[in-house]
Amino acid sequence: MSSIAINSSIDLALPEWLKKCLKESSAASSSEMDDRRHSDMVLIGRAFEFAYQLHQGQYRKSGELYISHPVAVAGLLRDLGGSPAMIAAGFLHDVVEDTDITIEEIEERFGHEVRQLVEGVTKLSKINFKSKTESQAENFRRMFLAMAQDIRVIVVKLADRLHNMRTLQYMSESSRRRSAQETRDIFAPLANRLGIWRIKWELEDLAFKYLEPEAYREIQQLVSEKRTAREEKLAKATEILRDRLQQAGIHCQDISGRPKHLYSIYQKMQRQQKEFHEIYDLAALRIIVQTNEECYRALAVVHDAFRPIPGRFKDYIGLPKPNRYQSLHTGVIGLTGRPLEVQIRTIEMHHIAEYGIAAHWKYKETGTSTSSHLTATDEKFTWLRQLLEWQSDLKDAQEYLDSVKDNLFEDDVYVFTPKGDVVPLSPGSTSIDFAYRIHTEVGNHCAGARVNGRMVPLSTRLQNGDIVDIITQKNSHPSLDWLNFVRTSAAKYRIKQWYKRSRREENVIRGRELLEKELGKTGFDNLLKSEAMQTVAEKCNYHSVEDLVAGLGYGEVTLNLVLNRWREVAKGQQPVTIAPPFLPKEGSSLKALRDAPPSTCRSTDSPIIGVEGLVYHLAGCCTPIPGEPIIGVVTRGRGISIHRQGCHNLENVEFERLVPVRWNPAAENSGCHHTYPVEIQIEALDRVGVLKDILSRLSDQSINVRHAQVKTATGQPALMDLGIDIRDRSQLEQVFIQIKKMSDILNIRRVGQIDE
């Protein structure tokens, strides 16, 4: 079958290594195939053949055969030194999602190890990164759980993402920006944490290319223009250092210049507020020697040949980064009087710097496929273990995301215990963060701290190299004031946990009050005892309803989240015997709603015709206003929800739940003066006073502004999100006309889930 696959893919340029695997696979008879099931080349060849067959007839946006993508992914994994199982997973990573093949068939044909990798990547492929905090947090939880089972899953996913980014030009503009943003926010930082610099740099540059194309092209052109002069200077510096190292008896494996990638140059320009011509160290010299001792001897040679720049020396050999990166970094004044960065490392350190965790199996292991199986228990993945530790504890989505950012997206500072143990912490951490990192009880009983032998306030920010000694007392306990200055989510969580446990009864009472206020008193106790509410508690990651109510009272879980979970459960449950309006029986929804308290205005003056005497509310997803066609939806918990016709949330609503309604034109003359909330977004040139001018125009039209938020970025237009109160569509149109007249306004639109 291999020959068929090769002949059928003449337009697919198969790499030589794959052709060799295919020949090996076709040379084996069927009986030999069983005997050589675990043979590396046979496994890889069979995986390609299987993927090729399944993807036949499928094409990419570029017009290429779809199989070209799995081949590229497998090639990237091979370059990273991946095991045969990983390379096979690279070929097969899309077959479960894109074809009728099941994960069980993958295991039957290729074994359990390949099945686990393909299954893990398939789960990650189904993650849709959304802006909503709760959804995004859940996506992160699933990702890190998959990584915890086998870290190689995320390496396969990174290879998949890298090839997709290389071919992103064939996607639509919106798809390009969305993928680029995901790559910059999630996958590049993950590659950084795993130490796979080769992938990290390319992912960052590709994301930069599509997110900020003008800046990308400008820096690319400027770097290209100065390349010749820069290479000449680096060549001279290289020659000098090579001679000096030889004279010192240091065997130099390699010395070469490394240009900095475009995104790192852009970041430096933004961080230091400098123009391109003010950035001198656009490239670094890399010296590779044989031993750790030679690294330090080479450093002395460099400092003897060129004047060192104070404060620019970093020893990542004695104090490696969390991703295992090791190297000596120093800044010196080069031949032209401008700064030059020099990196010194051994061959092994260089392999780890380039391949990160992949170096574990590429350069350390002896060849068995299972030897590269790494999980969260490995010491090198402290950050991943910390994330998993909070998986079940952190109920609040925003708090969990903060924990992710602490552990994944920021570089650490390194402090020491009195015994000399290194403790990595997030930048800006305090002695309280340090105490809770050591142990929960150390944090709970912290009474003071010495930093470098001196007593300091607990709010003091720790710096690299500080030696921290925590003073504990039995009677000491956390203070709520600590929440004002602790940095890490772990410390914040433990402080809150202590208060939650010590005041549980108060929290239960407060939680009951919040829930009772929303759902009503009648039948409330029966509701709390129902199986449906127990299901709600479990969906919110609590063991019991009482735990859920206590969490609600403490603020660990939000009321909106509980109510949302309640509505989800109520949809598929028989209704609990409680009073309307919060869960009417099937088939009697309108009767239950009519039994509920009516609106405060007289029914003849109700703003909406068709809901007289019923409990109703305007949907927040589309915020309808008079003058727009509307439709009512009977809900299980909040009466009738009024939507704009065409709202996206109506797509899956059963026809039986729809109620015909319309605006009452006589309502405005009745004495009940109604206004309605509308969210608008304005894109304007970023100048001083632009928001003030917009608010002035709104004030002139007697428009109340409920909130305003401005987002700015260097060189980008300002984005302003405003919440305003509007009488009707006509007034909203007048608002748009008046604001559009301003010369600084680039765009204005209404925010809401509807096709305008």
Q: Which residues are catalytic?
A: 97-98
Strands (E), 249-347: 254-259, 283-289, 307-308, 314-315, 328-333, 339-346
Phi-psi region of 646 (alpha: psi -120 to 50; beta: other; left: phi over 0): left
Give helix then strand counts, H and E, for the chain. 33, 21
DSSP-derived secondary structure letter, 12: S
Which amino acid is located at 268 in the chain?
A: K
Matching residue, tokens 């400092």: 303
Token representation of residue 243: 């001679």
Place of tokens 């109160």: 725
Cis peptide before 580 (omega within 30 of 0): no
Which of 285, 222, 219 lies closest to 252, judged by CA? Answer: 285
Question: Could you tell me which of 600, 651, 610 has the C-alpha nearest to residue 632?
Answer: 610
Contacts of 495 (CB under 8 A, 6+ apart): 432, 443, 478, 480, 482, 483, 486
Q: Is omega for the bond preceding 581 within 30 degrees of 0, making it cis?
A: yes
State the residue for tokens 């206590």: 550
Nearest residue to 456 (alpha-carbon basis) of 466, 464, 441, 444: 466
Tokens read off for 293: 């001792």
Residue written as token pair 């980008």: 716
619 SS3 class:
coil
Give dist(CA 140, CA 82) in Å, integer: 25
Can you say how many angstroms the Cα of residue 36 is from the centroid of all Cα atoms in its chain?
42
Amino acid, res. 422:
V
Contact 506, 553 (CB under 8 A): yes
Question: Facing residues of 468 across strands?
Answer: 451
Contact 308, 251 (CB under 8 A): no
Q: Token pair for residue 542?
A: 């609590």
Q: What does the alpha-carbon distance between residue 23 and residue 45 come to, in Å, rounded to a whole number?
A: 8
Q: How far is CA 705 from CA 619, 688, 717, 721, 731, in A?
A: 19, 20, 22, 11, 14
C-beta of residue 313 within 8 angstroms of C-beta of residue 300: no
Q: Which H or E run includes 27?
A: helix 16-27
173 phi and psi angles, rounded to 5 deg: -60, -45
Structure tokens at 150: 């086998």
The whole-angstrom separation of Cα 700 and Cα 465 is 58
Q: At what angle do helices 40-54 and 68-79 cross, to 10 degrees?
A: 160
Q: Which of 316, 340, 326 is nearest to 241 (CA)?
A: 340
The two three-digit tokens of residue 282, written as one number: 């656009």
Of 78, 8, 21, which Cα lies nearest the Cα of 47?
21
Residues 628, 644 contacting (CB under 8 angstroms): yes
CB count, 10 Å around CB of 100? Answer: 8
What's the rounded Cα separation, in Å, for the pair 583 and 593?
A: 10
